[in-house]
């Protein structure tokens, strides 16, 4: 299985601008720029897209883990926060923190914690990162 995304960039680093698109068409020429990445400019940026991908991947992996434990969530919400830091060799994504809230009928804390840990390490996007990955998880009744 392969998925594609594309980008176009015009101009220099600081004053340039670009567009990102996905083959599915969900993103179609979505603007991105240095100001959207390092300041508060409009448009998206690679780290924001990574955060959305990590949150989505994690929830799918968690759903699988819960199903294997005989549980089904009625609703789960995850927010990933990607940390981009200046390091010796330029910039690097150093952390991804997932904040999870889950409503899972019949779940106990032990099964929930085990499923969360398995999803945290088993999610393909987690495996892609060479960064610290942490999760704050709340099971709500």
User: Structural domain boundaries of the chain?
Assistant: 5-38, 46-140
Q: Which positions ≥6 away from 109 have C-beta within 8 Å?
A: 139
Q: Is the pTM of this model over 0.85?
A: yes
Query: What CATH number does the domain located at 46-140 have?
Result: 3.30.300.20
**Token pair 């990102």 in the structure block, residue:** 20
The Cα 9–Cα 18 span in angstroms is: 4
pLDDT tens for each residue of 85-114: 999 989 999 999 999 999 999 999 999 999
Asked whether 34 and 13 are in contact (CB, 8 A), the reply is yes
What is the SS3 string spanning 100-126?
EEEECCCCCHHHHHHHHHHHHHHCHHH
Q: How does pLDDT run across 11-70, given as a tens digit for each residue?
A: 999 899 999 999 999 999 999 999 998 888 889 999 999 999 999 999 999 999 999 999
């Amino acid at each position: 299985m392969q998925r594609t995304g594309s980008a176009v960039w015009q101009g220099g680093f600081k004053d340039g601008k670009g567009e990102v698109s996905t083959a599915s068409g969900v993103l179609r020429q979505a603007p991105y720029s240095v100001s959207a990445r390092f300041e508060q400019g409009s448009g998206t940026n690679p780290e924001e897209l990574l955060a959305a991908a990590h949150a989505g991947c994690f929830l799918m992996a968690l759903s699988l883990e819960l199903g294997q434990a005989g549980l089904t969530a009625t609703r789960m919400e995850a927010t990933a926060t990607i940390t981009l830091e200046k390091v010796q060799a330029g910039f690097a994504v150093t952390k991804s923190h997932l904040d999870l809230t889950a409503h899972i009928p019949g779940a106990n804390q032990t099964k929930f914690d085990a499923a969360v840990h398995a999803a945290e390490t088993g999610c393909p996007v987690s495996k892609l990162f060479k960064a610290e990955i942490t999760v704050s998880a709340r099971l709500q009744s």
